Amino acid sequence: MINLLLARFRQKHRTIAFPKAEPTLPDRFQGVPEIDPARCAKECNACADACPVGAIQTNPLRLDMGRCLFCGACAEACPTGALSFSRDYALSARTREGLMVDGQTREKMQALDAHMLRIFGRSLKLRQVSAGGCNACEADCNVLSTVVFDLGRFGIQFVAGPRHADGLLITGPVTENMRLALEKTYEATPEPRFVIAVGACAISGGPYAGHPEAQDGAAASLPVDLYIPGCPTHPITILDGLLRLLARR
């Protein structure tokens, strides 16, 4: 027992201070894209040509964070510096249109309405469904339950089955083999319920968009209430989106 207490004393406090303090992000973290239309060369399509998933359109310059892999290839290809990636981890949006970046000020993400907040504001149970994902977004969701992020301190918890859940958190492009399972999981979740799509695959199909065995994201089968982009989505981005949904940010 003494050894355990000494080990705990040496380890000190391991849980991050977020959201009371800003998080420490890796050097290569790519946040909300920044677009400067004034610097964009109108006849140049270098950024769009460099994008592996067609997330960029030009004339006018516009980037879809729901499709973006945040690889940074577009920023590297841009000869005028009109497109870059910030360190802003707050990527989430309640609507698909809210993920579009065009150089204008983004709308503030809306929390759940007052009725839903009264129900879920202090205790939220989520059933995570991997609908054909590569396990990258799934891993970043799982790590939220560790001592570093400690999702439970906000009253949020991943549960083992849909009948104990308030909503679904979906990753992966929703492959044809997972479509029926996902729909049945949604039906088994008691109302009121909501759906959270995490990662480019769950939002738009990601690199699998247009494949005959993929549904191009959760919205093809279910109504989505929160989009959290990324490839994979950083745990802080996921946590930030969940807290904003619950009006904690």
In whole angstroms, give the CA distance from residue 121 to residue 24. Answer: 27
What's residue 2's pLDDT? 87
Q: Which structure tokens are listed for 217?
A: 């994201």
Cite the beta strand spans of 104-202 per DSSP E. 124-130, 156-158, 167-171, 194-198
Q: Is 222 part of a structural domain of the chain?
A: yes
Indicate whether 40 belongs to any domain: no
Identify the domain containing residue 144 by its residue range.
114-245
Please name the helix (run of DSSP H) or strand (run of DSSP E) that holds residue 201, with its range, or none. helix 200-204
pLDDT at 14 over 90: no
Q: Do the domain assignments include residue 139?
A: yes
Residue 43 has pLDDT above 90, yes or no: no
Q: Which of 20, 140, 35, 40 is nearest to 86 (CA)?
A: 35
Q: Which amino acid is at 141?
A: C
Q: Are strands 100-101 and 156-158 parallel, antiparallel or unpaired?
A: unpaired
Specify the number of domains making up the chain: 1
Taken as a whole, the chain contains a residue count of 249
* pLDDT band, very low/low/confident/very high, at 80 (cuts 50, 70, 90): very high
For residue 3, what pLDDT band results from cuts at 50, 70 and 90?
A: confident
CA distance 243 to 13: 22
Looking at the predicted structure, is the pLDDT value of residue 12 above 80? no
- Is residue 160 one of the residues assigned to a domain? yes
What phi and psi values does residue 238 have, to the nearest 5 degrees? -65, -50
Using a 10 angstrom Cβ sphere, with 0-12 exposed, 13-18 middle and 19 or more buried, the burial of residue 187 is: exposed
91 assigned to some structural domain:
no
Amino acid (1-letter code) at residue 203: I
178 within domain boundaries: yes
**Amino acid code (one letter) for 105:** T
CATH code of 171's domain: 3.40.50.12280
Domain-embedded: residue 188:
yes
126 beta partners: 158, 167
SS3 130: strand
Determine, yes or no, domain membership for 195: yes
Tens of pLDDT, residue by residue over 189-238, are: 999 999 999 999 999 999 999 999 999 999 999 999 999 999 999 999 99
How much is the pLDDT for 109? 92
